[in-house]
Amino acid sequence: MTEVKATVFVVDDDAMLRKALQRLIRSAGYASDIYATAQAFLNGEKAGSPRCLILDVQMPGLSGLDLQREMLDRDLFMPVIFLTGHGTVPMSVRAMKSGAVDFLTKPVDEKRLFFSIEAALQKDVQERAERARREDIQRRLDALTQREYEVLVLVITGMLNKQIAAKIGTNEKTVKVHRARVMRKMEVGSLAELVRLAEHAGISSGREGSESE
């Protein structure tokens, strides 16, 4: 099947619940893949897009929270909805801090479940887009030379070419050339666009940095 469907993964050690959840998820038109243990999930094929994970917190062996951490370590990006028999506040805080979409208590109502699944899938879509965009900006940044990167950092702080030239010890004309190359390599048409892109990439404006120097 080449069609890529929104897929919901379920990891729960209770076979009956696993089966029931899978039915419910399927009844809403999502694809579903179920695992009895965290380890089995890690080892398994995880196709589907967008996708999310419904994870039981308390399981023999690797627990839900352990799996969540393990996934981050493995760059396995997938929004997680925790499901618990009796959640405690510290447990849910920890789960949410690690990026869980929701922390649901069993038994969970379908509306709440589908709301969370929908949110998780959307989050997955967004995160995928975000990741793609960040990767794209990164690819553009990677094309910059060291000098061009320096100019970029200074440009986004709003410095004039003359100031930049003084700062990096060159003339205004050379700065102008570098600036044009940056704009081209970064595939932007305006300074504002460049600033937004840099912010996205997590490059600080360097204003504080310059002041401290």
Partner 1 sequence: MWKSLNQGEIWRGEFHNLKKSGEPYWESASISPVVDTQGIITHYVAVKEDITRRKKDEQELRQMHEELESRVAEKTKELSDTIGQLRREIEEREQIQARLQEAEINYRTVADFTYDWEVWSNPDGTFHYVSPSCLRITGYPAVDFLQDPGLLSRIVEPDERKAWEEHCRKNHGERGPGEVQFRIKARGGEVRWIEHACQPVHGEGGEFLGIRASNRDITERKQAGEALQRSESSLAEAQRIAQLGNWDWNIRANSLYWSDEIYRIFGLSPQEFGATYDAFLRTVHPEDLELVKEAVKRALRANEPYSIDHRIVLPDGTIRIVHEQAEVLFDASRQAVRMVGTVQDITERIQIEREREERLRFERLLSDLSAMFVNIPVKQVDKQIEQGLKMAGEFLGVDRVTLSEFTHDMSELKPISSFAFPGFKPYLSSDLPQSAPWVTARIISGEEVVLNRIFDDLPPEATKDRVFFQGSGLSSIAFIPILEEGRVEFAVSLSSFQTERHWPDELVSRLRLLGEIFTNALLRKRATVKARALGEELAHVTRITTLGELAGALAHEINQPLAAILSNAQAARRFLAAGDPDMEELADIVKDIAEDTERASSVIKNLRSMMKKEERDFLPLSIQEVVHEVISLVKRDPLGHQMDILLRLEHDLPPVLGDRVQLQQVLMNLIRNGFDAMMYQKEGARELVIRSQRQDERYLRVEVQDAGIGIKESRLNRIFDPFYTTKPEGMGIGLSVNRTIIEAHGGRLWAQNNPEYGMTFSFTLPVAEGDHQ
Place of tokens 């440009």: 155
Comparing C-alpha atoms, which of 40, 43, 10 is closest to residue 26?
10
The yes or no reply on residue 89 touching partner 1 (CB under 8 A) is: no
Tokens 């003359």 appear where?
A: 162
Nearer to partner 1, 12 or 148 (CB): 12
Residue choice 86, 90, 139, 213 for contact with partner 1 (CB under 8 A): 86
By CB under 8 A, name the one of 95, 108, 151, 159 that touches partner 1: 108
Closest to partner 1 by CB, 7 vs 161, is: 7
Long-range contacts of 146-149 (CB under 8 A, 24+ apart): 147/178, 148/178, 148/181, 148/182, 148/185
Q: With contacts defined by CB under 8 A, name the span among 100-108, 118-126, 154-162, 192-200 that binds partner 1.
A: 100-108
| H or E stretch covering 7 | strand 7-11
In the complex with partner 1, the residue whose CB is nearer, 91 or 137, is 91
User: What's the first-to-final CA gap in the chain, in angstroms?
Assistant: 59
Main-chain dihedrals φ then ψ at residue 141, nearest 5 degrees: -65, -35
Q: Which is nearer to partner 1, 19 or 184 (CB)?
A: 19
From 52-60, 74-82, 117-125, 198-206, span contacting partner 1 (CB under 8 A): 52-60
Q: Does 16 bind partner 1 (CB under 8 A)?
A: yes
DSSP 22-50: HHHHHHTT-EEEEESSHHHHHHS----SS
Q: Is 26 in the site for partner 1 (CB under 8 A)?
A: yes
Give residues in contact with partner 1 (CB under 8 A).
14, 16-17, 19-21, 23-24, 26-28, 58-61, 63, 83, 85-86, 105-110, 113
